[in-house]
Amino acid sequence: MLELLLPPPVDPLWDLAEAYGADARPERLNLVLGVYRDDRGGTPVMAAVREAEIRLAERSASKEYRGLSGNAAFNRAMLSLILGSGPSADRAVAVQTVAGSGALRLLADLICRTRPGTTVWISDPAYVNHRPILEAAGLTVRTYACTDGPAMLRDLTRAGRDDVVLLQGCCHNPTGVDPSAEDWEAMADLAARTGWVPFVDLAYHGLGDGLAADLAPTRMLAERVPEMLIAISCSKNFGLYSDRTGCAIVVGTSRQALRHAETALQNAARTLYSMPPEHGAAVVTTILEDETLRTLWQTELDTMRARIEANRITLATHLTALGHEAQARTLARQKGMFSMLPLTPEQMLRLRAECAIYGTTAGRINIAGLPTDRVECVAKGMAQVLDAP
Ligand SMILES: Cc1ncc(COP(=O)(O)O)c(C=O)c1O
C-alpha cells in the first residue's frame, strides 16, 4: 500500500516543467503555455464576461445542484452557437462538461461504452492530451498525417467503418495548419462513404479566420454525416480558462439514439466528477442570450484574433527581412494561437539557451502570448539559430 506514496515516474506531458517556470524570470519569454496574452503580458477578463458576472452577482441566483447534464440553457446556447440553425441542430444533444478536456473524456467514454475496443484516429502531431485522454478511456489510438492534405486523406482511407476520427475543427494545435475547404469536403465524402464517425475538437473557434469561418467545416460535416461527436472548450474564446467551461455534443439519427447518448454521457460524468461547475456556463449563457453582450464578446474575440494575426504577419515580415523567406512563408500560412516554428529540437533548445525564448522542443510557440515589442526579438533569435554553423 505504501508504494502508492513513492514518487510517480516522470510524466512526459510535464517534461516542460522548466519552461512552465519561465515566467518567474521576466527576461525569459515563455511561449509554451496556450493562453492568450495582451500586449502587457496579461490575460484580462473579457469585458463581456465581467459584465455578465456583475449581472449574475446582482441576480444572486441559487447555487443548487444543476444535474448531470449541467446548465440546460447553456447546452441550448452551445447547440445554437456551434451548429447554427441548420437541420443538424434538430438532431443533436448537448451536455455541459468540465471544459474541453472534460468533453473529450466524456465523449471518449461514450465511444467506449457503446463500442468497446473502438479505434480512434488522431493527427500526427496531435494536441498533447488527445492520446492520453483516449487511452485512459480504454480506446485504441492510431495516427494520420495532418500537415499535408493528400497525405492526410490517404491515411484516412485506412480508417474503417467502425472507427472514429478525431479532427480539430480549426486552428490546429500544435501545427497551426488546417485542412483546406476542399480537404474538408473530401473528408466529409470519405466519412459518409466509409461510415467512420467524425469527432471534432473545437478549442479555438473565433481565433483563426473569425467565428463563422472557423465553425464552417464543423457545420458542413454535421450536415453530411449521420453521426458525429463534438467537444467544445470555452477556455480560450471566452477567456474562462480556470472556470472549466465546455460542452459535449452528439449528432445522431433518431431521438432514441440521442437519449441513449445523453444517458451514457451522464453516466460517465457521474463516475468522473458528477456535475460540471456552474459559474462559467452561467456567464457564457448570459452573454449569448443578450444581444448587447454577445456583440461585445464578438468584438473582443475579433480584437484577439486580429492581434494574433498581426503578430504572425510581423514575425514573418521580420524573418523575410533577415533572409529567411521560406520559413516566413511557412509561418504566414498558419492560423490560431499556435505557430510551429520550422526549427529542429536542437535549434529550439538553442533558442532557449541563447535567446531566453521558450517554445516546446517540437517547435510550437504561443504566438498569442507574444508581446508586440518582442516579435522582432523572436525573429532575430530564429535567424541566429538558423544561421548558426
Ligand atoms: C486542441 C485542444 N483541445 C482541447 C483543449 C482543452 O481545453 P480546456 O482547457 O478547455 O480543457 C485544448 C487546450 O489547450 C486544446 O488545445
Q: What is the pLDDT of residues 84-123, one digit of tens each?
A: 988 888 899 999 999 999 999 999 999 999 999 999 999 9
In a domain, 326, yes or no: yes
In a domain, 204, yes or no: yes
Supply the residue whose CA is at minimum distance from atom 3 of ligand 1.
203
CATH number at residue 193: 3.40.640.10
**Residue among 233, 241, 273 whose CB has most ligand 1 atoms within 8 A, to mutate:** 233
Q: How far apart are CA 23 and CA 42, in angstroms?
A: 12
Q: Are residues 146 and 31 in the same domain?
A: no
Q: Are residues 198 and 231 in the same domain?
A: yes
In a domain, 298, yes or no: no
Q: Are residues 340 and 219 in the same domain?
A: no
Q: Are residues 125 and 78 in the same domain?
A: yes
Q: Are residues 263 and 318 in the same domain?
A: no
Q: Degrees (nearest 5) of the Cα angle 115, 121, 126? A: 135
Q: Are residues 365 and 238 in the same domain?
A: no
**DSSP 8-state code for residue 274:** S
**Residue among 167, 235, 244 whose CB has most ligand 1 atoms within 8 A, to mutate:** 235
Q: Are residues 117 and 201 in the same domain?
A: yes
Instruction: Give the range among 6-10, 187-191, 234-238, 282-286 with minimum mean pLDDT.
Output: 6-10
Domain boundary among 241, 259, 277: 277
Mean pLDDT in residue range 58-78: 92
Mean pLDDT in residue range 314-329: 96
**DSSP 8-state code for residue 369:** G
Res. 340: pLDDT tops 70: yes
In a domain, 216, yes or no: yes
Q: Is 184 in the pocket of ligand 1 (CB under 6 A)?
A: no
Percent of the chain with pLDDT over 70: 93
Q: Are residues 271 and 176 in the same domain?
A: yes
Q: How far apart are CA 21 and CA 3, in angstroms?
A: 29
pLDDT value at residue 10: 53
In a domain, 284, yes or no: no
In a domain, 289, yes or no: no
State pTM to two decimals: 0.93
In a domain, 293, yes or no: no
In a domain, 294, yes or no: no
Mean pLDDT in residue range 304-318: 96
* 279-297 core/surface letters (b: 16 or more CB in 10 A; e: else): bbbbbbbbbbebeebbebb
Question: How far is the centre of ligand 1, averaged over its atoms, from the C-alpha of 42 (Å)?
Answer: 20
Mean pLDDT (the chain, rounded): 92
Count the domains in the chain: 2
By residue range, what is the domain housing residue 272? 64-277
Dihedral of CA atoms 279, 173, 251, 273 in degrees, nearest 10, equals: -40
Comparing C-alpha atoms, which of 190, 232, 3, 236 is closest to residue 103? Answer: 232
pLDDT value at residue 78: 98
Which residue spans within the chain are E strands per DSSP? 29-30, 92-98, 119-124, 140-145, 164-168, 197-202, 228-233, 245-251, 338-340, 357-358, 364-366
CA of 34, closest atom in ligand 1? 14
CATH number at residue 326: 3.90.1150.10
Domain boundary among 233, 261, 277: 277
